[in-house]
């Protein structure tokens, strides 16, 4: 049952990607998937048991978010005791993907996986990330391989702060 759902979900993402690739080669190169909340939540709750997941919520219009993107990118170049996966969840409007989001990713050469969360009513999902999240970004969720939410931070990070936190949480 779970397996079937996973396949279904992957096909969904894949079809979105294929559609985007046919629309614009830029999107294809940066692999921005357009997803909905239920898909996103089930993805990070059904992680590979060995993976530590860092989910950063950001938007092109959020200056501190864009400033700290390279810090999340740096996590790729660091060795931790467990494989660390970075997921950049973009909260721009879907119509701004090509003109606002993609240029930022290209300019900063972002290699992390990027999803655009295409939901109109944040009141339905903000509390599911964390009860104390007011909705301000940047905000980051840290999930272990069992799908447990280990920490949630509604603030920006310096690169060393982020590295230290991930090092401690992923132990």
Partner 1 sequence: MKKSALLFTFIISALLNSMFAQETTLTSGYKPGDLAESFNLMNVDGKMVSPENYPEAKGFVVVFTCNHCPFSIAYEDRIIALDKEWSTKGYPVLALNPNDPTIQPEDSYENMKKRARSKKFTFPYLLDENGKVASRFGATKTPHVYVLTKTNDGLQVAYIGAIDDNSRNAGDVKTKYLENALQQLTAGQSVQVPVTKAIGCSIKRPQ
Determine the size of the site formed for partner 1 (CB under 8 A). Answer: 21
Task: Choose one: 9-17, 41-49, 67-75, 129-137; the region binding partner 1 (CB under 8 A).
Answer: 129-137
Residue 137 binding partner 1, by CB under 8 A: yes
For partner 1, the binding residue among 127, 146, 148, 158 (CB under 8 A) is 127
- By CB neighbour count within 10 A (0-12 exposed, 13-18 middle, 19+ buried), where does 47 fall? middle
Helix 2-23 to helix 37-45 angle (10° resolution) is: 130
Residue closest to 30 by CA, chosen among 17, 14, 45: 17
Q: Of 64 and 83, which has the nearer Cβ to partner 1?
A: 64
CA dist 90 and 37 (Å) reads 12
* Window contacting partner 1 (CB under 8 A); options: 13-21, 76-84, 127-135, 162-170: 127-135
3-state secondary structure of 98: helix
Scanning 25-33, 81-89, 104-112, 133-141 for contacts with partner 1 by CB under 8 A, the matching segment is 133-141
Complex with partner 1: residue 122 or 145, whichever CB lies closer: 122
Rounded Cα gap, residues 43 and 67, in angstroms: 26
Of 27 and 91, which has the nearer Cβ to partner 1?
91
Closest C-alpha to 75, from 67, 86, 66, 65: 86
Q: Does residue 91 belong to the site contacting partner 1 (CB under 8 A)?
A: yes
Q: Enumerate binding residues for partner 1 (CB under 8 A).
A: 59, 61-64, 91, 93, 120-123, 126-127, 132-138, 154
């Amino acid at each position: 049952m779970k397996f079937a759902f996973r396949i279904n979900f992957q096909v969904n993402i894949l079809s979105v990607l294929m559609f985007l690739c046919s629309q614009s080669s830029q999107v294809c190169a940066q692999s921005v998937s357009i997803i909905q909340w239920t898909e996103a939540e089930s993805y990070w709750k059904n992680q590979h048991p060995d993976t530590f997941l860092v989910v950063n919520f950001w938007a092109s219009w959020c200056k501190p978010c864009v400033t700290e993107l390279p810090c999340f990118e740096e996590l790729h170049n660091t060795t931790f005791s467990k494989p660390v996966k970075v997921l950049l969840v973009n909260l721009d409007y879907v119509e701004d993907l090509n003109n606002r989001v993609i240029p930022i990713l290209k300019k900063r050469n972002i290699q992390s996986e990027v999803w655009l969360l295409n939901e109109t009513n944040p009141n339905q999902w903000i509390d599911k990330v964390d009860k104390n999240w007011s909705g301000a970004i940047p905000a980051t969720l840290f999930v272990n391989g069992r799908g447990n939410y280990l920490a949630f931070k509604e603030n920006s990070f310096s690169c060393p702060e982020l590295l230290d936190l991930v090092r401690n949480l992923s132990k």
